[in-house]
Amino acid sequence: MTRTGTDRSRTPEGARTALRDTLRAHLEGGGSLLLTGPEGIGRTTTAARLADGLAARGHRVLRCSPSPSDRDSPFLGLIDLLATAGDEALDCLAAHERAVLEGALLRRTPPAGAGPGTGRDALVLRLAVRKVLAALATTGPLLLVVDDVQWLDEPTARVLVFLARRAGPHHAVLATLRTSPHGGRGPDTAPARELCPQPVRTLPLPPMTVREIAGVLDAHGVHGGLSWPRQLVARLHEAASGNPRTALELAAGLHESTAAGSPLPDSSEPLPVPESLSRPVLDRLAALPGRARKLLLTAGAAVHPTVELLRRAGCRQAAADIDLCVRHGLLAPPDRGALRFTDPITPMVLEARAPYALRMEAHRALAEAADDPVERAQHLARLAAGPDPVVADRLVEAASAARRRGEPGTAARLGRLAARHTPADGARTGTARRLTAAEDALDAGDLDFARELAYEVLEDAGRAADRVRAWTVVVDASGQAMAEVADVFPQAVRDAGEDPGLLAPLHYRMSWHAWMVGGSAGRARDHAARAAGLAARAGDRRTEVLALTQQAALELFLGLPGAESTLAAALAAPHDAYAMSHHNGPIYLKHRFHLAHDQLDEARAELRTLVYTLRQRGSADCLSQCLIGLAQLEIQRGRCRQALSMARQSLRIAERAGLSQGPAWYAVALAETAGGSLGEALAAAEAARRHSEDDDDRLFLPRALHAEGRIRLFSGEYARAARLLRRTGEMESAQGQGDPATRRWHADLAEALARSGAVDEAESVIDRARAQAVRLGRTGVLATLDRAAATVCEERGGLEAAARGYEEAAARLRAAGYALEEARTRVALGRVRRRLGDEDASHAAFARALRVFTAAGARAWAAGVRAERDRAEGAPLPRPDDAAWPERLSSTERSVVARVAQGATNREIAAGLTLSVKTVEAALTRAYRKLGARSRVEITRIVMTRPAA
């Protein structure tokens, strides 16, 4: 099933939240920041949120926001900065210092002949301001915020430069600087940096992502409460270059247009540009000679403008005109002959304002000049006044060319143009072209476009085959949110009648619905088997292969003995190229069978080959899913950096293509748990859960819960982890899971239960899973269950038996190639050996685990193990049976010390627990006192010796 869908659960603010966390940490550490970017990019908003966040954490924040008219008003910036500092803040000054400063602040009239900006008084003023800031800093960290520093008056700037060079610990500065919006060099940042005490970091604020722009539009309600298609939001994002203010103005213009009765523009129609955005562009164009304006119009009409294409299209002095446009900031310098507008709004304005005759002349010249069939066909379509069979045929050929070179989105647009130019007497041909375009749109991730084309067909089509094909597009466009299309299946089955060729693809999709929405792998398997049989009768090898693959996957999940044979039938000739390279095809499934047999190298080889193929020519959906699988595999192999890279790539692809993001966030959660930050991992797991719940996707929801449960387990939140993992187990068992190697949650659940006191329940989970694993020969699963059994022994007080169990489990995991699981087991072994008083064996276990975690790039794990290994010599060690220390701490203190034991910094702990850094520091200080510890190492030693339930 195509795993795509509408993003209804956007995580708020996305990457900018993580960016602000990084910047806040820099400011909290005493550094200064200079944020740069064009007007509207969000510098002011970002600075305000950073300042507000620091104010909430105890910082004293002084602000000024100068405007262009303020540059000629001496000390206006200083007046604004000290506006909230009352007269009592000046009590630290000598009489003359106070008089000079109050004169500059216009709080008193300076003596005749004196002036704070001149002579000796200028130095007195600077020293006075420095004393006031030092006094204000005694009550907490001090931050000066200067928004739009380019408008700051010169006298205030000189004072701030003086202070920056002699800052000491008194203050940090957060400044914002406006840069050119059109790719020019913009203002020099050096003067602004001089206002900022060291260390100073200069950061160009990045454009917003599509998801962030969508959040801004929702927050401002510019679409009048209506839900705009994701692809339309993506076009707004692209036209605005990720600038939120530009996107809002474009969206407001679009809303105004629709409110006046105009329909929303489809992907082939230009977006309306409001006067507020078009006027500056027109003013800049007016400064150019007519020849350069003609070149820009031609470049805007081209699909892929190049210097040579424009020259062939009649712009004979293209090089000189391009150079002029580059100097005016309208074009970027050519990159190997390719041209790019610095502002995407410019070609939109040219398209809207140029006379029709001139636009058609440009398309005619480009059609004659283009040597690319795709480019030529699009210009011919613009020139055709109505249905034209020759143009339609050329468009079909161009769509095929685009499809062959891996551009399904272009193929979809060309296919719809071909359908529109097909004469009325070729209605069936036009319908077929629309359907092909809809399927191309699915491959491109343009789900709204695919649905639109499918419903166009359903309005007119009378043939059962066309209607069923359109219904399958509607189903596939729902992606993970298959609950939304439950009513489609009865209509589609009715249209299919008794035709096996039409019923087969429907039963294949009904199999996915039964599993994802109904939560029944057994019913899903029956539909898949029926689909495979019907497809075989109809001679539809593609559907047969996909259905057999689905049947094999379900039989593997159910633990049925015929799974290997069913997969072999899917892999047998004749092959279907589409199915063999699809993430729901047999090649992808083959790697999961390898994983079930603990054949990690074979599984990786299969997936790497498939990913390489998909990068060359494949859909965004398939590539995203295969990268998810590869990320999970790299985690199991102990290659955390590679796993993080793969998971993040998958998420970027899903975001860009509008795919359902639950699976990608799940992969990010796993990768961050292994090789990143537990705080980031938890945020990703919660995002995965929200997406799956919003989509009513019962297939991925238990995986998201498992990811979150593991993070809680590793953070020492055993009771919470047990609740999440228990729910995972209930959902997977209800679906019919019979092979514990397909979803490896059993050992994690047993460990969480044992650590939280439910030892008997933990043992029951282990026994059931062990019986399944023994029957199916799942060696890797048995090794993790051995570790869980050792945890049960440990919690029951059998420390010697637990140590032996951990030793044996670690050896088996090492033999099977599961590096991180082996190291995790050795950490547990080291803790038990310490409780037994065997410090040498404990140190050796920790050292071996640390080597594995370090080689794997598992940063958080390595930090925690390092803290245990390097504990302070001679620190008092709690008795093995002493479980009283957790009761001596509050719930907040327990949460803090559990994260300290994992090696987290105070800032990471604060982010993970949604606390201020000061609160974390206070809780840690109290924990030191209550536990008699003198350092983080001693805290770690105490906690790891007897983890809190």
414-430 pLDDT, tens digit per residue, is 999 999 999 988 889 99
Burial track 793-823 (b if 16+ CB lie within 10 A, e otherwise) = bbbeeebebbbebbbbbbebbbebbbbbbbb
Cβ-based neighbours of 407, under 8 Å, separated by 6 or more: 374
134-172 pLDDT, tens digit per residue, is 888 888 889 999 999 999 999 999 999 999 887 666 788
> What does the pLDDT read at residue 4?
37
657-695 pLDDT, tens digit per residue, is 767 788 899 999 999 999 888 888 888 898 888 888 876
881-910 pLDDT, tens digit per residue, is 344 556 667 767 777 877 777 667 777 777
For 489, which DSSP code?
A: H
Residue 829: CB atoms within 10 A of its CB come to 27
Cβ-based neighbours of 304, under 8 Å, separated by 6 or more: 338, 372, 375
5 CB burial (10 A radius; 0-12, 13-18, 19+): buried
**Rounded average pLDDT over 441-453:** 85
Q: Which of 128, 132, 123 is nearest to 99 (CA)?
A: 128
> What does the pLDDT read at residue 117?
59
Please report which confidence band the pLDDT of residue 14 belongs to, taking 50, 70 and 90 as the band edges.
very low
Across the chain, what does the average pLDDT equal?
A: 86
Rounded Cα distance between 146 and 165, Å, is 17
> What does the pLDDT read at residue 818?
94
Percent of the chain with pLDDT over 90: 50
Rounded Cα distance between 46 and 549, Å, is 49
Rounded Cα distance between 280 and 29, Å, is 42
Q: Which residue has the tokens 């890279």?
A: 645
Rounded Cα distance between 676 and 50, Å, is 24
**Omega of the bond prior to 66 within 30 degrees of 0, cis?**
no
Residue 112 has pLDDT above 70, yes or no: no
Rounded Cα distance between 550 and 523, Å, is 12
Lowest mean pLDDT among 217-226, 551-560, 883-892: 883-892
Is residue 454 within 8 A of residue 436, CB to CB? The reply is: no
CA distances from 592 to 586, 601, 783, 813 (A): 10, 12, 19, 18
Residue 312 has pLDDT above 80, yes or no: yes
Rounded Cα distance between 855 and 822, Å, is 13
CA distances from 579 to 207, 515, 571, 584 (A): 37, 20, 10, 7
652 CB burial (10 A radius; 0-12, 13-18, 19+): middle
Rounded Cα distance between 731 and 701, Å, is 9
Per the DSSP assignment, residues forming a β-bridge with 64 are 146
Residue 235 has pLDDT above 90, yes or no: no
Per the DSSP assignment, residues forming a β-bridge with 200 are 32
> What does the pLDDT read at residue 447?
81
> What does the pLDDT read at residue 483?
77
Residue 650 has pLDDT above 70, yes or no: yes
Q: Which residue has the tokens 């699909």?
A: 303
Quick one: residue 598, left, alpha or beta (phi over 0 = left, psi -120 to 50 = alpha)? left
Per the DSSP assignment, residues forming a β-bridge with 63 are 145
Per the DSSP assignment, residues forming a β-bridge with 62 are 144
- With DSSP H G I counted as helix, E B as strand and the rest as coil, what are the percentages for the chain, rounded to 5? 70, 5, 30
> What does the pLDDT read at residue 888?
67
Residue 31 has pLDDT above 70, yes or no: yes
Residue 519 has pLDDT above 90, yes or no: no
Per the DSSP assignment, residues forming a β-bridge with 759 are none
Residue 781 has pLDDT above 70, yes or no: yes
Residue of higher predicted confidence among 696 and 205: 205
285-306 pLDDT, tens digit per residue, is 999 999 999 999 999 999 899 9
What is the C-alpha R_g of the chain? 33
User: Can you spell out the DSSP letters for 730-790?
Assistant: HHHHHHT---TTTS--HHHHHHHHHHTT-HHHHHHHHHHHHHHHHHHT-HHHHHHHHHHHH
Q: Which long-range contacts (CB under 8 A, 24 or more apart) does 493-499 make?
A: 495/464, 495/467, 495/468, 495/471, 496/464, 496/468, 497/464, 499/464, 499/465, 499/538
Please report which confidence band the pLDDT of residue 13 belongs to, taking 50, 70 and 90 as the band edges.
very low
> What does the pLDDT read at residue 2?
40
Q: Which residue has the tokens 């594995």?
A: 852
Q: At residue 201, what are phi and psi to the nearest 5 degrees?
A: -120, 125
Residue 1 has pLDDT above 80, yes or no: no
Lowest mean pLDDT among 161-170, 533-542, 594-603: 161-170
**Omega of the bond prior to 197 within 30 degrees of 0, cis?**
no
Rounded Cα distance between 859 and 836, Å, is 28
Lowest mean pLDDT among 262-271, 467-476, 578-587, 606-615: 262-271
**Rounded average pLDDT over 501-517:** 93
Cβ-based neighbours of 371, under 8 Å, separated by 6 or more: none
**Rounded average pLDDT over 804-831:** 95
Per the DSSP assignment, residues forming a β-bridge with 172 are 143
**Rounded average pLDDT over 935-943:** 68
- Token couple for 715: 């953070």
What global pTM score does this model have? 0.66
Rounded Cα distance between 33 and 144, Å, is 10
**Rounded average pLDDT over 925-946:** 68
695-712 pLDDT, tens digit per residue, is 677 788 899 999 999 999
Percent of the chain with pLDDT over 70: 89
Q: Which of 207, 208, 264, 278 is nearest to 231 (CA)?
A: 264
Rounded Cα distance between 881 and 879, Å, is 5
- Token couple for 375: 């480019």
Strand 60-64 with 142-146, pairing: parallel
